[in-house]
Amino acid sequence: MRWTLKPKHDDEQVMALAEILKVDRLIAQLLLQRGITSYEEAKKFFRPQLSDLHDPFLMKDMELAVKRIEHAIQANENILVYGDYDVDGTTAVALLSSYLLTLYPNVATYIPDRYTEGYGISYSGIDFADDNGFTLIIALDCGIKAIEKVAYASKKGIDFIICDHHRPGNIIPDAIAVLDPKREDCNYPYDELCGCGIGFKLIQAINSNREDSFDKLIPYLDLVATAIGADIVPITGENRVLAYFGLEVINSAPRIGFKAIIDSLQKKKLTITDVVFIIAPRINAAGRMKHGQYAVNLLTEENMEQAIIYAADIEEFNTNRKGLDKEITDEALAMILQNKEEDRYTSVVYKDTWHKGVIGIVASRLTETYYRPTLVFTKSGNKLAASARSVRGFDVYNALERCADSIEQFGGHKYAAGLTMVEEQYEIFKSQFEDVVAETIDPNLLTPEIIIDAKLDLDQISPKLFRIIKQFAPFGPGNMTPVFMTENLSDTGYAKGVGEENKHLKLAVTQNGTGPVGAIGFNLGNKLSVVQNGNPFSAVFTLDENQWNGMVSLQLKVKDLR
């Protein structure tokens, strides 16, 4: 691990903000690191308001989209809400379809089959719309590159509205409206919304156009918060407001489908991390193992008994997914060793029998092991399909663009992408991708980096400090949980390995007579020797609460030791 301490802000600036806000210098420093320099900005950060959301009509084509939907309702047209099979896509479809159904009955949903249709808008989806009399398709979390598909639909008399947040190509599809803040000709003030977030802006616009109360939209925010967490978009600006209030809905009045999942958990209050690691994988498992429509059914269900049945199905999909993902990861790691590819700049692996639904997770697991840009390929029909994952600081989308001559189609973000190609191109691509990454990556990026917010001595840690830091939540990209570093620590002699095969490290630390403070280091069992025999050491950690036997105490959640 590389430890990188963020540069300190100017002392005068820190003091000035600390005085204005009546907080200590450490909190002022953490706020400045998050771009907060004034009382007004701090107020928006600590006390988000729904009134901070932008006017949806600032988004290019929003008026055209609302006008076309209202026309469809007036003319009694059939509307098909179409979305991708991941968490962002299925929550977006659940959000828009259930909202439209409160206005009008002729609305249905469509999620493409991951295995027969693949990612995004498909010809079979358009044929389904044509066969069943749909004249308007609203596509969510996909469609920004579907130029031929939109033209194909148009010939059949079907209009498209596209709500996407992926990077556009050089040509924008010829749809009635294309809502995507990443369009160069769109001046919307915030361009990091996820697909479900853009779906929310669309219902906000329809709602405002009808002069309905904003309160009508609050129950949909649980879906938006889930998509924000799962899609790993920055939790800054508008996303922070949506995530903050969405979590409130999840914890106070979740939809029936979420309740069916949450009720089986022993947790009083869910954080965005719980949403990412508990709710999102279950929703995702439907599209990975069976069909994304199962997730939409769960998220739109209003009968608790039926929701419990759907949730049980999804739980089973998730259990199966875990088994498969471990099995394929083990195979892929063995393949890298067998081919003597441990020292490359990239991991690119392929097996035709691997389950397409889990290759994205496997790519993430391989990245955790070798920490380098990674692609996992499998057979999909008569083509190869792959999921790409990257390391912090390296744009895998740009790297794929430089290999475009061996790829049939691709799309995605800086850190995650998907692609298809013909099998004959695989070896050519593998070699080309290795060359591109070797030429363009800063070698430092191939060592995982821990970014540290500030140095912190044990005597500075207090319940008050932890209370204030908790108010920085929801955490995520752009607003990560503050990470601290403390030097010259020693263990009290309590340190031991815990958990299966002593995988984790439990210890109690002191510093210059302060302490002991409890600490836990997940997956750091192999560092036991670093802290034994009274050796002084440094630790990088976040602050955490430990609940044990009804007692609550502060502890250090250690990320690394040296």
What number is the average pLDDT over the span 359-378? Answer: 95
- Of the listed ranges 12-26, 194-208, 253-267, the least confidently predicted one is 253-267
pLDDT at 58: 98
* pLDDT more than 90, % of the chain: 81
Taking only the tens place, the pLDDT of each residue in 273-285 is: 999 988 999 998 8
* pLDDT more than 70, % of the chain: 100
pLDDT at 231: 86
Q: How confident is the model at residue 543 (pLDDT cuts 50, 70, 90)?
A: very high
Taking only the tens place, the pLDDT of each residue in 113-137 is: 888 887 889 999 999 999 999 999 9
Please report which helix (H) or strand (E) contains residue 554, including its range.
strand 551-561
Taking only the tens place, the pLDDT of each residue in 149-163 is: 999 999 999 999 999
Is there a contact between 145 and 397 (Cβ–Cβ < 8 Å)? no
pLDDT at 119: 81
Determine what percent of the chain falls in helix, strand and coil, rounding each to the nearest 5: 45, 20, 35
Taking only the tens place, the pLDDT of each residue in 36-60 is: 999 999 999 999 999 999 999 999 9
Q: Is the pLDDT of residue 268 over 90?
A: no
Taking only the tens place, the pLDDT of each residue in 183-223 is: 999 999 999 999 999 999 999 999 999 999 999 999 999 99
pLDDT at 211: 96
End-to-end CA distance of the chain: 10
Is there a contact between 423 and 383 (Cβ–Cβ < 8 Å)? yes
pLDDT at 116: 83
Global pTM value: 0.89
Q: Is the pLDDT of residue 540 over 80?
A: yes
Look-up: residue for tokens 């190609």? Answer: 421
pLDDT at 114: 82
Q: Which CATH class is domain 2-6+450-561?
A: mainly beta
Cα 487 to Cα 449, 455, 511, 543: the distances in Å are 18, 8, 8, 16
What span, in angstroms and rounded, lies between the C-alpha atoms of 288 and 114?
Answer: 7
Q: Do domains 2-6+450-561 and 339-446 have the same CATH topology?
A: no
Q: Is the pLDDT of residue 429 over 90?
A: yes
Taking only the tens place, the pLDDT of each residue in 346-356 is: 999 999 999 98
What span, in angstroms and rounded, lies between the C-alpha atoms of 481 and 175?
Answer: 41
Taking only the tens place, the pLDDT of each residue in 463-495 is: 999 999 999 999 988 899 999 999 999 999 888
Indicate the average pLDDT of the chain: 93
Helix (H, G, I), strand (E, B) or coil at 392: coil
* Residue 296 token pair: 């939409």
- Of 167 and 469, which is predicted with more confidence? 469
pLDDT at 5: 95
Taking only the tens place, the pLDDT of each residue in 440-449 is: 999 999 999 9
Q: Which amino acid is present at 481? A: T
Domain ranges of the chain: 2-6+450-561, 56-312, 339-446
Q: How confident is the model at residue 25 (pLDDT cuts 50, 70, 90)?
A: very high
Q: Is the pLDDT of residue 416 over 90?
A: no
Q: Is the pLDDT of residue 264 over 90?
A: no
What span, in angstroms and rounded, lies between the C-alpha atoms of 201 and 62?
Answer: 9
**Nearest 10 degrees: Cα torsion 306, 312, 317, 319:** 170
pLDDT at 453: 96
pLDDT at 441: 96
Taking only the tens place, the pLDDT of each residue in 487-504 is: 999 999 888 999 888 999
Taking only the tens place, the pLDDT of each residue in 290-330 is: 898 999 999 999 999 999 999 999 999 999 888 999 999 99
Yes or no: is domain 56-312 CATH 3.30.70.270?
no
pLDDT at 172: 96
Taking only the tens place, the pLDDT of each residue in 50-86 is: 999 999 999 999 999 999 999 999 999 999 999 999 9
Count CB neighbours of 414 within 10 A: 14
pLDDT at 545: 86
Yes or no: is domain 339-446 CATH 3.60.150.10?
no
What number is the average pLDDT over the span 372-377? Answer: 97
Return left, alpha or beta for 498; rule: phi > 0 is left, psi -120 to 50 is alpha, else beta: beta
Q: Is the pLDDT of residue 415 over 80?
A: yes
What span, in angstroms and rounded, lies between the C-alpha atoms of 51 and 146?
Answer: 34
